[in-house]
Structure 1
Amino acid sequence: MKRRNFIKKGTTGAVSATMIPLSISTVESNTDGGERRSDNWYQVGTGKKGKPTRKKELHVDVLVAGGGVAGCCAAVSSARNGAKTILVQDRSVLGGNASSEIRVHLNGVTHLRDGHPERETGIVEEILLHNRFNNPQGAYNVWDHVIYDYVTQEPNLKVMMNTQAIEAKMKGKKIKSVKCWQLTTETEYTIYAKHFIDCSGDGLMAATSGALYRTGREGKAEFNEKYAPDEPDNWQMGASLILHSKDMGRPMPYKPPSFAIPYTEGHKPKMHRSVLPFTHGFWWVEVGSDKDIIGETEEIRHRLMGHLYGVWDYIKNSGNHPESENFALDWVASIPGKRESRRFMGDHILTEVDLMNHHHFEDAVGYGGWSLDEHNPGGIENLSEPASYFHYRFDKVYEIPFACLYSQNVPNLLFAGRNVSVSHIALSSTRLQGTCATMGQAVGTAAALCVKKSINPRELRDSHINELQEQLLRDDAYIPNRPSKDKNDLAPKATEIFASSTSSGDVKLLTNGYSRDVQEREEINHWQSDGLPAEVTFEWEKPITLSKVEIKCDTNTRKNLMLRSDSREDDQFTTTIPPELLKSLKLEMRSQGKWTKIGQKEENNRRLIKFNFDTIKTTAIRITLEETYGAQVGRLYEVRCYKK
């Protein structure tokens, strides 16, 4: 193929796809920003001289580096499961590639071969629903603060913005602490933790721990990958810059900046480089690297800005797009959205073969389904080849095992996102943010369990993987081919389950262990009422003790909820609160023949609805579905009951 010839250029001296262990050395310096030994500070108000103390230590159970979607999910799940957690983010906003700074759509299993999504639930869905309730106008800058509001409300979680984890300090093979730098306060933090999760994408914290990682593309022979190059090389998928334009209602002349790089190619459908519509930018304005893509970041950013403004100049001034006459630039990104750099090695490397064969993993904790979408490594600087090679489109989801989410050689290090243990070709699918979110929730939950049990992630996988999977399922994550089998759930032990009405499904499906309809097998796993209000009742032959009832309702996982710059509304995407979501419901319990209301939800905003109450002995519970956000019927997928 021509692209193989193109990508061979400039590879001399680069390291091909191989694992790189980093050695750590500590260098003492009298210019340490945290010490401020030479600071000459005169305080006018007191007339005194002082020296700022900007070197601090923090101690927690879990440190999460990187506040993108994967990192947010990891931090929240860790905190919710009992671990004292810190999330450090090197930007002023959370969300990573999905934030207002970059504005990549939060895709995941957005569409399978039949065109339908298999949307992620759990924490990432809670974030997306939080946005629907609090940002109906779809403003990107508000979206940043919606995520911030969601994450910072966790009582067991501390969020540190503008803070980068820059160096891991080791004790033997384990990470003991991490040196962090907070730009805005000029403060050096040393954060001690028991477990560390790198969700930062580039993975500086993990790299400085000596964790094995690789960059570049594996050749066909290593993993028997059909779509890999014949020989290994150093190319990594590039970063992109996006722009938005606006119709100003009058002619808007345009003069490109001095750094613009001329773009002369017209629309070539087979190359996936259409400039239409031009209102929401071009993902294919992309530049990759066959050397050190992290070290070249600023150079790449400069070239990307030149290419982006060059494309806009072509649209405005070539004469080929007169429809652009009244349009002007409304927003242009300054931070590139990255796709690939370091990939850290775990006990398993997920490959194209695993994905295409839908390999079943006993330690599965997440899933994906975006196409094998390997971007042209040369990006816009290789116009002779397509912008992306859409190698393969899946007809059902694939599994992601826990063994590719922790380090092979650093015992207390986990990771989630685009830096996990996958081959280059597998990364072309697993890098999607919704898929990364499933990994994030998995590793956050795993880290909390490791803290509780005083074990490392490998031990968790070898001896306690069932407990991790059960907790994820209880917390509304989805694991393909893995129904819940929670022995502590008392709902399946009910002697009678009945409903006031049924229009589809069966009320007894609420305890079968599946909390969604399984699309690829066309399996129904729900109960749906015939109108509202409607009731579901569980009865036990002998009194049981309860303090928790957990319900999973319907949010229509066949429609995507992500914020989109084009506000798309159709059979696959929605800009509104799902009308199927339950708005109002109540819980009653029967004790000594008398029904008593235990709980009421009036403005529910989540699929997973929890009722927590003082311990009660009961022989029956009754759930009354009162109102949705628009649907005329109510639908439930699961009901769980717990003693504690």
Structure 2
Amino acid sequence: MTGFDGRCDAIFLGHDDTPPPNGAGEEARAWRRALRGLPENPIDGGEFDLIVVGGGVTGSAAALTAARLGSRVALIQNRAVLGGNASVEIGINPQGVRGPLVDELAQRDDTGDLRARDLLEAEANATVFVEHTVYDLVAEGNRIVSVDARDARSGRETRFRAPMFIDCTGTAILGLMSGARTLFGHESKSEYGEKLAPDDHIDEHHGHTVFFRTRTADTAVDFPDVPWAIEVAQDYANLNGQLVEPGKDNGPGPVAGPDKVPDPSIRRRMLFPASHFWEYGQKLDPYTEGENIRDHLLCAIIGTYANVRELEPENYANLELDWLGYVAGQGEFRRYLGDYVMTETDIRDHTEFPDAVVMNAGPFCLHYGGHDKYDFRLRDWRWVERDGQPYTVPFRCLYSADIDNLMMAGKHISVTHIAGSTTKLMGNGGQHAIATAAASVLCKKHGTTPRGVYESHLDELRELISEFTDNVPQPLAPKSPISTESEASA
């Protein structure tokens, strides 16, 4: 379909014209299980104190924290490596508030991979299940009882049980499966009174990005004609925004032809060689169109590379694609609705939350897709530093308003799109993860829910969090009582 690479889940060879089931529903799953000789029902994967779904920086931090606090934790990750957008497959450096635990797991080895998996496998209380995709769950009332995950290599399906769950997928997948309410898109000004919000609600999101790197070989490099890629890239010939190495992006790249002279109408900030300027899919469903988004970006990069070589063969005959990511850096999905929705105004005004449990930092980083000519490039980018100071995140943003034993950490916590453009930073997500992992320990200790921890155990929660981060907000001092007369006059 692309003219270059082809992928499919399976090849079906049959003796008649009866088509195989089409789709990802139970009928298709049952069909696959029968043909592969797999059990009809998921096998028992055991019971844990806590299950963390999603093995990015956030999920790794949650699992490591919980294990070190003595909980038996299962970390379920759909990729072969840990780290998510920071992994060796993608390579972004975690930003925001990091702290000692995130610094520890985000160190890289000689291959560029994170230390996260080594650290978790050294913990007797932690069990890591890589290449396992959660595809279903069992719920009873407002509680999740278990999750079902499929091994990508064997197709074997396993059921994992626990009294507490933390969703660190960035996609709010456990919420969608359990019926928890979520938020999506760009909220309007009237919804939360945010200064940077659009006048009307927009059902769009931050898109995905594919990372790449070029190099100059010692001799000329052959490359085939790629008309299917040129169709997407058009005449674009600017390879800025490269991943220099895992953990270091926004690198410069070769530019050829007219793109060497920037259009004077382009804002100066948009000329920065940012890796995330290669972004697509803002108007597409990120849950069902992920492969199409990734393939479109692959075409854009390959076509741009071909254009640079074609326009200046005397300069770029030796130019080759050194590395091209086949896993896209994920953008924005749905966000959970918690007991509180944090907003741009809260962050700007440094709202004093009684349940502030962690510090986050970073600018509002807003991406606007829909370039007039190149749909794989951002139309605009806003980077708003505010006052440059860290801000607090309330615990009520870290658990679902609807599911009693479900917490969340990372880009899909209970925030607006504007607020989420800063809380989504991976270092920040690591702080959410530490807080939720600590809360899971208190839920077990006191036989309560995350909401119960908010209502009765905040001081104890902050104390546990302080073992893993230097950025724990202090509880608010009680305000001096005022007389009824003063109150009335106020």
TM-score relative to the length of structure 2:
0.80
- Structure 2 Cα separation of the partners of residues 430 and 30 of structure 1: 38
The one of 40, 60, 63 aligned to 1:72? 60
| Corresponding position of 2:179 | 210
Deviation at 1:407, TM superposition (A): 0.1
- Structure 1 Cα separation of the partners of residues 195 and 37 of structure 2: 63
2:44 is the alignment partner of 1:56 = yes
| Corresponding position of 2:70 | 82
Deviation at 1:105, TM superposition (A): 2.0
2:471 is the alignment partner of 1:443 = no
| Corresponding position of 1:405 | 398
| Corresponding position of 2:235 | 264
TM-score relative to the length of structure 1:
0.61
Residues 279 and 378 in structure 2, CA contact (< 8 A), matched pair in contact too: no
Deviation at 1:210, TM superposition (A): 0.8
Residue 67 of structure 1 aligns to a residue whose secondary structure is coil
What percent identity do the matched residue pairs reach? 29
Change (3 A) 1:383 1:210: closer
Deviation at 1:232, TM superposition (A): 0.5
| Corresponding position of 1:182 | 151
The one of 444, 448, 451 aligned to 1:458? 451
The one of 340, 353, 356 aligned to 1:348? 340
Change (3 A) 1:410 1:385: closer
Residues 73 and 441 in structure 1, CA contact (< 8 A), matched pair in contact too: yes
- Structure 2 Cα separation of the partners of residues 39 and 264 of structure 1: 47
| Corresponding position of 2:247 | none
Question: Structure 2: which amino acid aligns with 1:295?
Answer: T
May I ask how many residue pairs the two structures share in their alignment?
424
Deviation at 1:324, TM superposition (A): 4.7
Residue 390 of structure 1 aligns to a residue whose secondary structure is strand
Residues 120 and 127 in structure 2, CA contact (< 8 A), matched pair in contact too: no
Change (3 A) 1:264 1:40: closer
Structure with greater proportional strand content: 1
| Corresponding position of 1:337 | 329
The one of 73, 82, 106 aligned to 1:94? 82
Deviation at 1:354, TM superposition (A): 0.9
**Which string of whole-angstrom CA distances, capped at 9 and with x for unpartnered residues, describes residues 295-324 of structure 1?**
1112111111111222323333334x9765
Structure 2 gap ranges (5+): 1-24, 237-258, 477-490
Residues 33 and 187 in structure 1, CA contact (< 8 A), matched pair in contact too: no
Residue 174 of structure 2 aligns to a residue whose secondary structure is helix
Change (3 A) 1:39 1:322: closer
Residues 300 and 376 in structure 2, CA contact (< 8 A), matched pair in contact too: no
Change (3 A) 1:330 1:57: same
Residue 316 of structure 1 aligns to a residue whose secondary structure is helix
| Corresponding position of 1:396 | 389
The one of 116, 127, 130 aligned to 1:161? 130
Residues 210 and 279 in structure 2, CA contact (< 8 A), matched pair in contact too: yes
> Which structure's relative contact order is higher, taking Cα pairs within 8 Å and 6+ residues apart?
2
Question: Structure 1: which amino acid aligns with 2:93?
Answer: H
Deviation at 1:434, TM superposition (A): 0.9
- Structure 2 Cα separation of the partners of residues 84 and 198 of structure 1: 16
Residues 168 and 206 in structure 1, CA contact (< 8 A), matched pair in contact too: no
The one of 73, 78, 99 aligned to 1:121? 99
- Structure 1 Cα separation of the partners of residues 146 and 118 of structure 2: 28
The two structures, once aligned, show a CA RMSD in angstroms of 2.8
Deviation at 1:212, TM superposition (A): 0.7
| Corresponding position of 2:9 | none
Question: Structure 1: which amino acid aligns with 2:135?
Answer: I
Structure 1 gap ranges (5+): 1-26, 42-50, 110-119, 484-644
- Structure 1 Cα separation of the partners of residues 29 and 220 of structure 2: 54
| Corresponding position of 2:424 | 431
| Corresponding position of 2:30 | 32
Residues 58 and 189 in structure 1, CA contact (< 8 A), matched pair in contact too: no
Residues 280 and 376 in structure 2, CA contact (< 8 A), matched pair in contact too: no
Deviation at 1:448, TM superposition (A): 1.6
Residue 466 of structure 1 aligns to a residue whose secondary structure is helix
**Which string of whole-angstrom CA distances, capped at 9 and with x for unpartnered residues, describes residues 443-478 of structure 1?**
111112211211100110111011111111123341
Residues 398 and 480 in structure 1, CA contact (< 8 A), matched pair in contact too: no
Question: Structure 1: which amino acid aligns with 2:233?
Answer: P
- Structure 1 Cα separation of the partners of residues 292 and 28 of structure 2: 30
